[in-house]
Structure 1
Amino acid sequence: MGACDRDELREVSAAVLAVTAHLAVREVLQTIVAAARRLLDAQYAALGIPDGNGSFREFIADGLSDAQWRAIGPIPRQHGLLGAMLHDPSPVRAADIRRHPRFEGWPAGHPEMVDFLGMPIVDGDEILGEIFLANKRPQPGRHGGGGFDAGDEELLRLLAAHAAIAIVNARLYERGRELSIVEERQRIARELHDAVTQKLFSLRLTAEAASALVTRDSQRALAELDTVRRLAAEATAELKSVVVGLRPADLAGDGLATALRRQAELLDRVHAARIRFTGDQVPKLSEERQEAVYRVAQEALHNALRHGDPRHVDIDLRRSGRGCTLRVTDDGTGFDTAGPGGSGGSARPGAAQRRLGLASMRERARSVGGRLTVTSTPGAGTTVTMEVPGDR
């Protein structure tokens, strides 16, 4: 086996291992795209996954500089050849893409591409996306001119199959996660119904009886009110036990830092943004304070991923005296903290939800004696900081 063959084997191996390494799906697809460009000696490579609305949910390119990306502008729509490949499972190989009947030209700033090899990413009868290469580099000693050949097509088909596995795995993971959430909600509903509803019904009947007896038999009314107090205490205890059951298992067993790290790893696998945790174990805090920090982190992450469209989100947890400081920072769209989504009205979609999320986080911080600050600028991301004192 020659050195070139060994290099090719290593590239294919890296792409295969990426699929099985539990990385975020975007990282896996980036590994596959980069491997395809290197293996097939192409100047450019890209991979797109449609979003169901005429554009792409993911569009990953390799070989373009940051300046070229900025010059090209927004992610391409599903038009021309890119759109056709999402409806036909056959590969496309062309010596000059500009002469293809479905070619519709380049956007301003797009690099010139000539020879082209495109491969739909398929799972059974479903086309999940497409991967394509352009501008085959000349190879010394190769006869017949440049351009992609049948061997290149076969290798790209293999890499497309690995991309399909990564995409399907990500879908299955997300569906399993959604199913777990539904099952947990159903369990909570059952517990609330079985444990609390009956006591609340008895509580209401007893209170009505006490009300009816107040003017006729004060002693019996007092006895009924004692029953009301007992039932209320039992209902409160039942509710507390259900709420304790809702505490994250990782938080209860492994501590705050470990729970946040696992939350970051989970979200990193199912979102396009890169989500990282840094920090270490902090001083032992009461259950209420640990829970407050964890829930604020969840809400800050939710707001960033749902409303901010970030590329990176960083969670940092540090010791601060006897307590700790949580910081969640994203590089997303940001917002005006004095306007919609901050403390003002809700002029755009999502602003009201963000404002409610901020209010919820501030209330959680206050409830445990902590302080929450939010700094954000439109176009420059958001930072949520929560400072929590230690226990006495």
Structure 2
Amino acid sequence: MATCDRDELREVSAAVLAVTAHLSVREVLQTIVSAARRLLDAEYAALGIPDSNGSFREFLADGLTDAQWHAIGPIPRQHGLLGAMLRDPAPVRSADIRTHPRFEGWPAAHPEMVDFLGMPIVDGDQILGELFLANKRQGRFGAEDEELLKLLAGHAAIAIVNARLYERSRELSIVEERQRIARELHDAVTQKLFSLRLTVEAAAALVERDPRRAVAELDTVRRLAADATAELKSIVVGLRPVDLAGDGLATALAKQAELLDRVHDARVTFTGDGVPRLPAEREEAAYRVAQEALHNALRHGAPRRVTIELRRAGPGVVLTITDDGHGFDPGSPGPATTAATDTPGNTAGNTAGGKAQHRLGLASMRERARSVGARLRVTSGPGKGTTITMEVPGP
């Protein structure tokens, strides 16, 4: 294989691998733009992703200095040939872009461009953006250049689509979290506040005719107020943002344990260090499963002690949350007997005091584990506490 062929293969490989690596979409697209310029021996390369306001949400270039970028000014609008390429999926190849019928000129500081090859970035029948080159150093852009640029545009489409899917999944997670909080507020805090109001009214009615009973009712008011405050603190703890990327899973879980230990009567502790870093989506899933397991234990199990353990297991980790609370039957509905489930993400069950909410929590843990290829195991029994184990694979 000729040296130039090996170099070309290496450049294409780097651009393809960038799509699957843990890089931001901007980094991936910049890699593709740079690879396209080098592979096709062009002086300039650029990639644009349009916005809904007639401009570009992303516009990346390669071959320009910072001084040239500054002198050119604002990024271009969707007009002229750039606008046409966002409406027509056909590639554009011209020996002199200045003679193209859709060419409308460029800013005064813009470098002179002649030979041009443009490729829309397409997903199905949708045009996501455009990738183009200018000023081939040797000769003119040909059919082989067009085929190679089409390949790179295809990988740019993968990166863009993956980024959009990730954003949608984040939006769905936010919606799920809001629904969970709404349920908690309704099921716990609202009921306690309603009881608090009734108890206050009863105490007020008894102040004059039965002061002793009024004092007893006021003691109940204090207890209900304390319970409502604890519930609100617990919900707020669940809302606090965590910097998994900066802190890592072990540090994030340690902070969560410290917060919950301060808020609840139960002793909440964490052990674990020296664990490997995992891909972001797996650390996120493990953290959310831990949050849900802790919430279930503290809300429904009335434990005296809850422990969180994170340990290395080859390239991955094992997360274990154990409590000494009421426990429940993971196989319910049915006879209340000690049971365990050990399938990838297969959990069911509830406590008597929060059946529907507990079942939803276990279903959420099951889905999170399944989404990252983890194994979830729930072991519990009435009066025997609960242990939830999540085996998370490595990279």
Q: Same fold (TM over 0.5)?
A: yes
Other structure's SS at 2:248 match: helix
Identity %: 82
Equivalent position of 1:258 in the other structure? 248
Question: Please, which of 211, 217, 224 is the counterpart of residue 217 of structure 2?
Answer: 224
Question: Aligned equivalents of 2:43 and 2:11: distance in 1?
Answer: 17
One-letter amino acid of the counterpart of residue 180, structure 2: R
Equivalent position of 1:168 in the other structure? 161
Quote how far apart the aligned CAs of 1:258 are.
Answer: 2.6
Instruction: Spell out, residue by residue over 1:318-350, the C-alpha distance to the aligned partner (whole angstroms, 9 max, x if none).
Output: xxxxxxxxxxxxxxxxxxxxxxxxxxxxxxxxx
**TM alignment of 1:209-288, pairs within 5 A:** 209-247=202-240, 257-258=247-248, 287=259
Contact 2:237/2:259 (8 A) holds in 1: no
Aligned positions, number: 261
Q: CA RMSD in A?
A: 2.8
Question: Aligned equivalents of 1:80 and 1:37: distance in 2?
Answer: 22
Equivalent position of 1:128 in the other structure? 128
Quote how far apart the aligned CAs of 1:247 are.
Answer: 4.9
1:158 is the counterpart of 2:134: no
**TM alignment of 1:1-392, pairs within 5 A:** 1-138=1-138, 146-247=139-240, 257-258=247-248, 287=259
Q: From the superposition, tell whether residues 259 and 248 of structure 1 become closer, same or farther in structure 2 (CA, over 3 Å).
A: farther
Instruction: Spell out, residue by residue over 1:231-276, the C-alpha distance to the aligned partner (whole angstroms, 9 max, x if none).
Output: 112222322333344455777xx9x7336999xxxxxxxxxxxxxx
Equivalent position of 1:297 in the other structure? none
> Which of 1 and 2 has greater Rg?
2
One-letter amino acid of the counterpart of residue 258, structure 1: G
Q: From the superposition, tell whether residues 183 and 7 of structure 1 become closer, same or farther in structure 2 (CA, over 3 Å).
A: same
Other structure's SS at 1:101 match: coil
| Stretch of structure 1 that moved more, 188-197 or 77-86 | 188-197
Quote how far apart the aligned CAs of 1:198 are.
Answer: 0.8
Unaligned runs of 5+ in 2: 263-395
| Stretch of structure 1 that moved more, 26-35 or 192-201 | 192-201
Unaligned runs of 5+ in 1: 139-145, 263-280, 291-392
- Given the two structures, how large is their TM-score scaled by the length of structure 1? 0.62
Quote how far apart the aligned CAs of 1:133 are.
Answer: 0.3
